């Protein structure tokens, strides 16, 4: 999608690239991401008001370090380089970048020496968030230093050419008033006009889907979660009854989830949804598999196989081809799975992206691919979906398989379902469900000794995982009240057969991830 007059983010592979685009969209200005090596014609063709060069994991002197076409700096457009983006711009314009003696990760203070449009209205000292091992020690001609941290030049500008660079990350929450820095760039430097909001996202996306699908038919992988539901509603608006929805029971769903979700989607949302019980084939495909990536890949492949069969069945019935598969893929699924638009590091293969086989018979329709979960919730509100669905915790596509470490078996799934239902119930009872990002149980392949009714027991360990987060890119463990933890612990060992020990997961993301596999 493109809206002229927006800000284009050129991606050098930074983990925070999408946050930049999202912060700009929060100002109601369109922003899209292109790979750093996008052609100059493509960039110009989008008629942007300005360009942001993202951060990235490389050093400008690395062999094969990502680069842009340097004519990006000759388009006459304002440019903001962030971290690697600033280093690349300085390096390309004749400045000097070196490996830092003191690498900067985490908080630092920016001390500003001079006024700058970029920092208009902001104090001269600001807490900023860094993540870099190189820094700029020689400025290109025309540039001036605007601010420093203890260790490095942290902000530079060539105001006459509208070129700005910051070594820190204004897009992350931890940078004090970072959004205002980006707002200054967007409105005061680029002179962009507000041209994007939720209503326009809905109408632009519906239009884009209509164009993509034409008069063909589409199949939606509906899971009852907010992402696929919002995706389905958007596609339904675009192509009406040419969309068929399916909800697959993978055998990896939570207690009662299959029936309850089908009822909700049909009765509350009025969607036409077919339930497909594929639990036996998923479990057979997972037999003997313990490697987390292998599990994810097999589940992804099985999903596609199921959909392909359903599509063929439906196409035969309608005597027409089913060419499109709708998925509620979000940006974090993409960024952590594959290097889509830039050279970001792969963290996990999310089932709805990395596991797709090459000969897949579908083209994907992924209307939410550039958004974060909380943006999707806002879009859902725009579409008037019930808050019950909008506030639902995320549940991963591979389901309980990534919360059950080791081989997935029916018996272990039952144990996990029992524990999980109690965790969620107690979190709801304590009024915490809407305050935390996710709350769930994990079954560990660790048995330990317990004592029950004077007898020795030897059962499973359940880890309770409850996290707070804004967008799943980073997360913290929820500091739950002791009495809530106590209730969970007592109920799980008493009510779930075969569990002798409960532990609470107190890891943040990073370095851990939210799911255990």
Residues at the contact surface with ligand XMP, assessed by CB under 6 A? 332-333, 336, 348, 350-352, 394, 396-398, 438, 472, 509, 513-515
Which residue lies nearer to ligand XMP by CB, 242 or 350? 350
At residue 177's C-alpha, the angle toward residues 158 and 374, to 5°, is: 115
Find the shortest distance in angstroms from Cβ 19 to ligand XMP: 15
Find the shortest distance in angstroms from Cβ 189 to ligand XMP: 34
Find the shortest distance in angstroms from Cβ 306 to ligand XMP: 16
Cα distances (angstroms) measured from residue 87 to each of 129, 226, 509: 16, 39, 27
How far is Cα of residue 278 from the mean position of the Cα atoms in its chain? 27
Give strand ranges (E) for 222-314: 243-249, 273-277
Selecting among 104, 157, 167, 171, the annotated active-site residue is 171
Determine the Cα–Cα distance for residues 15 and 57; give it in Å rounded to an integer.
Answer: 9
| DSSP β-bridge partners for residue 79 | 51, 163
Catalytic site includes residue 83: yes
Find the shortest distance in angstroms from Cβ 169 to ligand XMP: 20
Asked if residues 23 and 372 have their Cβ atoms less than 8 Å apart, the reply is no
Find the shortest distance in angstroms from Cβ 368 to ligand XMP: 11
Which residue lies nearer to ligand XMP by CB, 155 or 472? 472
Which residue lies nearer to ligand XMP by CB, 370 or 515? 515
Cα distances (angstroms) measured from residue 135 to each of 55, 90, 182, 248: 12, 10, 21, 50
Which residue lies nearer to ligand XMP by CB, 332 or 343? 332
Find the shortest distance in angstroms from Cβ 407 to ligand XMP: 19
Catalytic site includes residue 350: no
Cα distances (angstroms) measured from residue 390 to each of 71, 215, 422, 470: 44, 30, 22, 14
Catalytic site includes residue 68: no
Find the shortest distance in angstroms from Cβ 328 to ligand XMP: 7
Half-sphere exposure of 439 (CA within 13 A, CB side): 25
Which residue lies nearer to ligand XMP by CB, 175 or 223? 223
Cα distances (angstroms) measured from residue 160 to each of 73, 90, 276, 343, 454: 13, 15, 62, 32, 81
Selecting among 36, 83, 190, 220, the annotated active-site residue is 83
Selecting among 135, 162, 169, 350, the annotated active-site residue is 169
Residue 239, classed as helix, strand or coil, is helix
Determine the Cα–Cα distance for residues 296 and 399; give it in Å rounded to an integer.
Answer: 10
Residue 76, classed as helix, strand or coil, is coil
CA torsion, points 9, 13, 16, 18, in degrees to nearest 10? 40
| DSSP β-bridge partners for residue 157 | 144, 164
Which residue lies nearer to ligand XMP by CB, 123 or 510? 510
- Which sequence positions are flagged as catalytic? 83, 169, 171
């Amino acid at each position: 999608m493109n809206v002229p007059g927006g800000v284009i983010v050129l991606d050098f592979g930074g983990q925070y690239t999408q946050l930049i685009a999202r912060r700009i969209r929060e100002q109601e200005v369109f922003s899209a991401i292109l790979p750093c090596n996008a052609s100059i014609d493509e960039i110009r063709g989008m008629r942007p008001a300005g360009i942001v060069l993202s951060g990235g994991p490389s050093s400008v002197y690395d062999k094969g370090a990502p680069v842009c076409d340097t004519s990006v700096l000759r388009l006459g457009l304002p440019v903001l380089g962030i971290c690697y983006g600033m280093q690349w711009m300085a390096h390309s314009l004749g400045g000097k970048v070196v490996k830092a003696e003191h690498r900067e990760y985490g908080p630092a203070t920016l001390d500003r020496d001079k006024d700058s449009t970029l920092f208009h209205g902001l104090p001269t000292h600001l807490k900023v968030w860094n993540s870099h091992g190189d820094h700029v020690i020689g400025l290109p001609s025309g540039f001036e230093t605007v601010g420093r941290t203890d260790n490095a030049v942290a902000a530079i500008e060539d105001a006459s050419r509208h070129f700005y660079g910051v070594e820190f990350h204004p897009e992350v929450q931890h940078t004090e008033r970072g959004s205002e820095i980006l707002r200054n760039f967007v409105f005061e430097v680029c002179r962009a006009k507000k041209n994007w909001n939720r209503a326009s996202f809905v109408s632009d996306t519906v239009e884009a889907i209509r164009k993509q699908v034409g008069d063909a038919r589409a199949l939606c992988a509906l899971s009852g979660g907010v992402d696929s539901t919002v995706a389905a509603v958007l596609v339904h608006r675009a192509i009406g009854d040419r969309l068929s929805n399916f909800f697959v029971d993978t055998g990896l769903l939570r207690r009662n989830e299959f029936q309850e979700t089908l009822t909700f989607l049909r009765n509350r949302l009025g969607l036409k949804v077919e339930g497909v019980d594929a639990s036996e084939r998923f479990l057979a495909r997972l037999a003997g598999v313990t490697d987390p990536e292998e599990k994810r890949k097999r589940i992804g492949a099985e999903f596609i196989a199921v959909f392909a069969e359903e599509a063929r069945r439906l196409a035969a019935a309608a005597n027409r081809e089913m060419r499109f598969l709708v998925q509620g893929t979000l940006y974090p699924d993409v960024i952590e799975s594959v290097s889509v638009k830039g050279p970001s590091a792969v963290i996990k293969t999310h089932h709805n992206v990395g596991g797709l086989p090459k000969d897949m018979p579908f083209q994907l329709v992924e209307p939410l691919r550039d958004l974060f979960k909380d943006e999707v919730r806002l879009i859902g509100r725009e579409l008037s979906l019930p808050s019950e669905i909008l506030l639902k915790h995320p549940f991963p596509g591979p389901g309980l398989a990534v919360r059950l470490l080791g081989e997935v078996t029916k018996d272990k799934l039952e144990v996990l379902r029992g524990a999980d239902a109690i965790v969620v119930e107690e979190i709801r009872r304590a009024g915490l469900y809407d305050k935390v990002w996710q709350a769930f149980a994990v079954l560990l392949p660790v048995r330990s000794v317990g004592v029950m009714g004077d007898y020795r027991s030897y059962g499973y360990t359940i880890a309770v995982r409850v996290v707070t987060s804004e967008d799943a890119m980073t997360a913290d463990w929820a500091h739950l009240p002791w009495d809530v933890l106590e209730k969970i612990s007592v109920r799980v060992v008493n009510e779930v057969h075969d569990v002798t020990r409960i532990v609470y997961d107190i890891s943040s993301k990073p370095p851990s991830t939210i799911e255990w596999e």
